[in-house]
Amino acid sequence: MADTLLSNVTTSVSADTLISNVTTDVLAELPLKTIDANLILYVLFIIIFAYVLNRLLGFILTHISERMGRYRTTITMLIPLLKLVVYVVALYYILIAVIEPSLTLLLAFSGLFGAAIGFGLKDLFADIIAGIIIIFEKPYQIGDMVSIGEKYGEVKNIGIRSTRLQTPGDEQVSAPNGTIFTQSVTSGNAGDLAMMIIIDLYVHPDSDAEKAMKILKEALVTSKYVIISKKYTHTVLLDDFPFYKRVRAKGYVNDLRFEFEFKSEVSRRALAEFRKVGIRPPSFVPPEVDTGHSGNRRRA
């Protein structure tokens, strides 16, 4: 074990030394332009311009998307793509402003780039690559309700390095984009504005289950938040357990942002009707379980 550890440390030190030497050699041969105040101001201008432009594009597209109804998620997905384009163009202009790139130089930088990924910045580059994959393959999109690891919420922004979620408790959570490589990521609506919601109610095993199902179905189909069509179907199911019966309704909320209002309204109305007709709650209340939020899921 000690020999292995010593070998790993020796290998790591040797690699770092090699990279340092190569970096020094490459930098020494860089055809750098004269660094003066004008060049520094020019680079700062590009960075600030790219940042302000991205903020402005994000603000305008977010504002427009909120007025576009069911096209909201489509428009918001343009935001991370445009940000990526702006930053790539800005990086290009900075490089040609500072150095005069040649084929030899590009090959040298490619080697350094690969070495940097392997020995020091692999997590950062993994997040950036994951961000590009998210933008083009769309395992989730801005506006989706997703579960990333143990966090659940609405995707508010997809950045180059991380994804920002707004949880039902109004918390802002930043999840590294590289999470899609190591953990399951679930999208509740996969780019659609509608999302399947599962509502579970529990009744006493001696209760009239058929009547309970009819009441829950009536509460579901008459909700102001539900959407029902050939594409967005609904159903009510019954499961019989030793100490209780579970009546489960599945239906689509017309806007995923009304997820909890929809569940609350249907549950409240159905439970009130249960009391009127004498349907009792179970003596044993099962612990809260993950019923999921959607039947329209994708995994990445």
With pLDDT > 70 as the criterion, what percentage of the chain qualifies?
Answer: 74
DSSP string, the chain: -HHHHHHHHHHHHHHHHHHHHHHHHHHHT--BPP--HHHHHHHHHHHHHHHHHHHHHHHHHHHHHTTSGGGHHHHHTHHHHHHHHHHHHHHHHHHHHHB---HHHHHHHHHHHHHHHHHT-HHHHHHHHHHHHHHHH-SS-TT-EEEETTEEEEEEEE-SSEEEEE-TT--EEEEETTHHHHS-EEESSTT-S-EEEEEEEEE-TTS-HHHHHHHHHHHHHT-TTEE-SSSS--EEEEEE-SS-EEEEEEEEESSGGGHHHHHHHHHHHHHHHHHHHTPPPPSSPPPP----S-SS-EE-
- Residue 294, pLDDT score: 45
**Model confidence pLDDT, tens digit, residues 80-112:** 778 878 888 888 888 778 776 666 666 666 666
- Residue 107, pLDDT score: 64
pLDDT bin (cut points 50, 70, 90) of residue 113 is: low
pLDDT at 165 over 50: yes
**Model confidence pLDDT, tens digit, residues 196-214:** 999 999 999 888 999 999 9
Residue of 181 and 50 predicted with greater confidence? 50
Give the range among 42-56, 257-271, 274-288 with minimum mean pLDDT: 274-288
- Residue 103, pLDDT score: 60
pTM of the model: 0.58
**Model confidence pLDDT, tens digit, residues 27-59:** 555 566 677 888 888 889 999 998 899 888 888
- Residue 249, pLDDT score: 95
Residue of 197 and 127 predicted with greater confidence? 197
